[in-house]
Chain A
Amino acid sequence: MISTTKVLSLREGSIQVVLFSVYGPRRPNPLKNGGGEVPWLLFLSGSWRAAVGGYFLKRLVFLGVVMLGVSIITFGLINLAPGDPAELILRSGGVEPTRETLEALRKELGLNAPLYVQYGRWLWRVLHGDLGKSFRTGRPVAEEILSRFPATLELTCAAMVLMVCLALPAGILSALYRHAFLDHLSRLSALLGASLPGFWLGLVLIYFFGVKLGVLPVMGRGGPQHLVLPAVTLGFGMAAVYARILRASMLDVLGQDYIKVARAKGLKEKWVIGRHALKNALLPTVTLLGMSFGHLLGGAVIVETIFAWPGVGKFAVDAIFNRDYPVIQGYVLFMAVVFVLVNLLVDVSYVFLDPRIRLERGK
């Protein structure tokens, strides 16, 4: 069972650490000065717009710190790989390295300089959008990734939409009609969704809808019908699990006093559920939604390979098979940026959803 407070305190903790290092200790909360008198002006002077702005800035600083760590790890990737990078590059080019060619390439790549200097130079290039050239195609990695990203984004978003469209009603209804047919169905599909590997589901879907029934295309990118099978493969498992999480969260909220109060006030049941319960139940689940976006991006690697979807994931898999290090490096870095940005978006959406964060953090 995931409770709001648990998720909140987790976030609070991580944010607190970063904020502490950036801004020093947080100012004491003026609201907790012992009940009775409440200093109105303190929290009303700033509009919530300003609050969101401040919060956003803090998160941007956090993003910078994370990206620095990711860049170090990514840079280490090529240096941690067995063998000498220069030798690797020559071998991947199909050239048998000699002492002279190795030395020449080392000089050209600046591999004789100390590691931190190499890192500095590399980081400088990366910041200018230069991720190096693919060993295989010889084209700039940044260009290769960016040209393929729309396809991946399309697939991931389709899976996400599918997930929300399935999980939201399934989660709410199975909470409202506990132990009814739909509840059992969603329980079963969550079990299946969590335990069936995506590639298996993908192959089964291809077999039935592509081969047996012949109603849906199974290869490549095209119209909306091309999206269906890959999106279902990618989103189904997560949707089922997500429905269960929302159900648990919903049941937790439905047992709260304020729901009883809302009913005692004589509100319509749809109002009680749609407004009082759902808004609270969504809070812990939004965080998970952000995380699952990362999972979807990762899962896209497999799904894109199965369905020959021309996205970043398939590109990365090809790169791994070809030991195309600059591409792997570029892919990891790029995905890290996307992941962190999505998390930032989730945090900002939290500010919109939960007044407690909006008004306490925004100061």
Chain B
Amino acid sequence: MSSAPVLKIKNLSTYFYTRLGVIKAVDRVSFEVEPGKLLGLVGESGCGKSVTALSILRLIEPPGRILSGEVWLNGHDLLKIPPGQLRQVRGREIALVFQDPLTSLNPVLTIGTQLAETIVSHEEVSRAEARRRAVELLFRLGLPDPERLMRLYPFQLSGGMRQRVMMAMAISMRPKVLIADEPTTALDVTVQAQILAELKRLQEEMGMAIILITHDLGVVAAMADEVAVMYAGSIVERGSVVQIFDRPAHPYTRALLRSVPRLGKEELVPIGGQPPALLNLPAHCAFLPRCPEAHTECRGKKPELREIGPDHAAACHRISRSCPGEAGRR
């Protein structure tokens, strides 16, 4: 690791207490992001990626509850600071871009109002100054005629434009960390590429750290520096993008990579079985029922995430420290 991480998450657990039982949406997740780096958080739908993002800013609502953990930013644990101080972190130090730009903007307020209010609530500036800066932001995101745009309502914009507006909103306070939760899932394929390119460009210009949550491995391969693979609420493998794609160690990561189409690859292998229900998770490894490399020792307690090489960690009983990626390989 080259420089000190800007955001450090330790043993974060968020459970949902429903009538049917406890859902362990995030279970002892730890990771960190360095300034200017992009961390790809990958996994199937429902594996706890979004809940992780919301937990970082304490945006979890009942019946969900952040059980334990630490979220370190600027020497403060965000899970312990008072609400007033937390409000100053939200939007200013850490910004969120949500999945669906259609529902993320308030339908009855103008774009200008929604942009300016972020600035006004964090800085002692006049409304006029805030609006001027909002216009600048829209311009910066390549939106045509920003002056007019300020007076429009969300329903008058296309999906791609709305997501650009959301990004303008997110970068308005020059946050240290930007969390983008599937920012392109709701968009057309052509627009997806534009939005991702925009994200990359902003990162280079502003030097912020990005946590990109996605289920698209192609996007991760193209953009990420570090990758964390989530499965059933836990991180099962973590490492640099090179490690993950060239020497995937965890059976789940390998299965995931086999299931994605790539040039020059003959055959796609789907992952058998179903992702586990997060309700009443077993005490053993959650991937066990689907794992092609399962062994008797896997029936024991859940494996911990441990270092298996430089800049590479995985949570699997079958991986020996000496030769990562060789576990149970036939």
Interface: B322 (CB within 8 A): no
Q: With the chains together, A243 CA to B160 CA distance in Å?
A: 39
B-chain residues with CB within 8 Å of residue A275 when the two chains form the complex: 109, 117
Q: Is the CB of B158 within 8 A of A38?
A: yes
Asked if residues B109 and A257 are in contact (CB atoms below 8 Å), the reply is: no
Residues of A within 8 A of B110 (CB): 355
Question: Nearest chain-B residue to A41 (Cβ)?
Answer: B148
| Interchain CB contact (< 8 A) of B98 among A257, A267, A271, A353 | A257
Contact (Cβ within 8 A) B122 A266: yes
Closest residue of chain B to A260, judged by CB?
Answer: B59
- Are A271's CB and B117's CB within 8 A? yes
Contacts of A283 in B (CB 8 A): 108
| Distance between Cα atoms of A31 and B158 in the complex (Å) | 9
Cβ of A258 within 8 Å of any chain B Cβ, yes or no, is yes
Residues of A within 8 A of B274 (CB): none
A323 at the interface (CB under 8 A from B): no
CA distance A40 to B144 in the complex (A): 10
Binary CB contact string for chain A from 243 to 287 against chain B (1 if under 8 A, 0 otherwise):
000000000000011101111111110010001100110010000
**Within the assembled complex, what's the spacing in Å between the Cα atoms of A277 and B175?**
26
For residue A44, CB closer than 8 A to chain B, the reply is: yes
Query: Please, which residues of chain B bring their CB within 8 A of the CB of A354?
Result: 108
B153 contact from A260, A265, A359, Cβ within 8 A? A359
- Interface: A119 (CB within 8 A): no
Judged by a CB distance under 8 angstroms, whether B157 is at the interface is yes
Interface majority SS (helix, strand, loop, mixed), chain A: helix
Segment of B74-82, B83-91, B246-254, B292-300 in the binding face: B83-91
**Is there contact, CB below 8 Å, between B121 and A267?**
yes
Docked-complex contact B104 and A258, CB < 8 angstroms: yes
In-complex Cβ contact of A256 among B59, B95, B103, B188 (8 A) = B103
Contacting B at CB under 8 A, from A14-41, are 31, 35-36, 38, 40
B169 interface residue (CB < 8 Å to A): yes
Using Cβ atoms and an 8 Å threshold, which residues of chain A touch B100?
Answer: 257
Q: Indicate whether B155 reaches chain A with its CB closer than 8 angstroms.
A: yes
Q: Decide if B160 touches A35 in the complex (CB within 8 Å).
A: yes
Contact across chains for A359 and B156 when beta carbons are under 8 A apart: yes
- Whether the pair B121, A266 counts as a contact (CB closer than 8 A) is yes
Hey, which chain A residues are within 8 Å of B169, CB to CB? 265
Q: A38 near B156 (CB under 8 angstroms)?
A: yes
Are the CB atoms of A279 and B109 closer together than 8 Å? yes
Measured CA separation A263–B98 after assembly (Å): 12
| CB of B107 within 8 Å of the partner chain | yes
**Residues of the B chain whose Cβ atoms lie less than 8 Å from the Cβ of A35:** 158-160, 188
Q: How far is the CA of A341 from the CA of B305 in the complex (A)?
A: 69
**Most B C-beta atoms less than 10 A away, residue of A264, A271, A280, A354:** A264
With A40-B148, A280-B107, A356-B155 as contacts: A264 and B89 at CB distance below 8 Å: no
Given A38-B157, A257-B98, A266-B91: A356 touches B59 (CB 8 Å cut-off): no
Docked pose: A258 CA to B162 CA in angstroms? 12
Q: A40-B145, A257-B98, A271-B117 are in contact. Are A262 and B156 (CB under 8 A)?
A: no
- Which residues of chain A come closer than 8 Å to B107, judged between CB atoms? 258, 280, 355-356
Contact partner of A257 among B92, B104, B148, CB < 8 A?
B104
Q: Which residues of the other chain, A, contact B157 by a CB distance below 8 angstroms?
A: 38
Instruction: Give the distance in Å from the alpha carbon of A297 to the alpha carbon of B50 in the complex.
Output: 51
Contact B156 A266, beta carbon cutoff 8 Å: no
Interface residues of B in 161-186 (CB under 8 A from A): 161, 166, 169
CB–CB B158/A266 < 8 A: no
B255: CB under 8 A from chain A? no
- With most chain A CB atoms within 10 A of its CB, the pick from B95, B106, B157 is B106
Q: Are A261 and B121 in contact (CB under 8 A)?
A: no
Report chain B residues within 8 Å CB of A262. Answer: 106
Contact B118 A265 (CB under 8 A): yes
Give CA–CA (A354, B153) in the complex, Å.
10
- CB atoms of B103 and A266 under 8 A apart: no
Query: For the complex, is B134 an interface residue (Cβ under 8 Å from A)?
Result: no
Instruction: Choose from A36, A256, A276, A359 the contact partner of B109 (Cβ within 8 Å).
Output: A276
- A255 to chain B minimum Cβ distance, whole angstroms, is 9
Determine whether A43 belongs to the interface, using a CB cutoff of 8 Å to chain B: yes
- Measured in the bound complex, the distance between the Cα atoms of B108 and A354 in whole Å is 6
Q: In the complex, what residues of B have CB within 8 A of residue A353's CB?
A: 108
Q: Contact at B90–A265, with CB atoms within 8 Å?
A: yes
Encoded as 1 (CB less than 8 Å from any B CB) or 0, chain A from 322 to 336 comes to 000000000000000
**Docked-complex contact B59 and A264, CB < 8 angstroms:** yes
Known: A44-B148, A263-B90. A268 touches B121 (CB 8 A): yes
CA distance A279 to B161 in the complex (A): 24
Query: Are the CB atoms of A265 and B109 closer together than 8 Å?
Result: no
Chain A nearest CB: distance from B163 CB in Å?
12
A356 to B109 alpha-carbon distance, docked (Å): 10
Q: What's the Cα separation between A275 and B103 when bound, in Å?
A: 16
Tell me, yes or no, whether B41 is within 8 Å of chain A by CB. no
B141 in contact (CB, < 8 A): no
Minimum Cβ distance to chain A for residue B92 (Å) = 6
CB of B218, distance to nearest CB on chain A (Å): 23
B106: chain A residues within 8 A (beta carbon):
258, 262, 276, 279-280
Give Cα distance in the complex from A323 to B155, angstroms.
Answer: 56
B151 proximity list for chain A (CB < 8 A):
44
B195 within 8 A of A: no
Q: Which residues of A sit under 8 angstroms from B95, Cβ to Cβ?
A: 264-265
How many angstroms between the C-alpha atoms of A107 and B121 in the bound complex?
A: 78
Q: Which 10 A-B pairs rank lowest in CB-CB distance, beginning with the nearest? A: A266-B91, A266-B90, A257-B103, A265-B91, A35-B158, A264-B96, A258-B106, A355-B153, A265-B118, A261-B104
26 intermolecular pairs with C-beta atoms under 8 Å apart = A31-B155, A35-B158, A35-B159, A35-B188, A44-B148, A256-B103, A257-B98, A257-B103, A258-B104, A258-B105, A261-B96, A261-B166, A264-B57, A264-B90, A264-B91, A264-B96, A265-B91, A265-B169, A266-B122, A275-B109, A279-B106, A279-B109, A354-B108, A355-B108, A355-B110, A359-B156
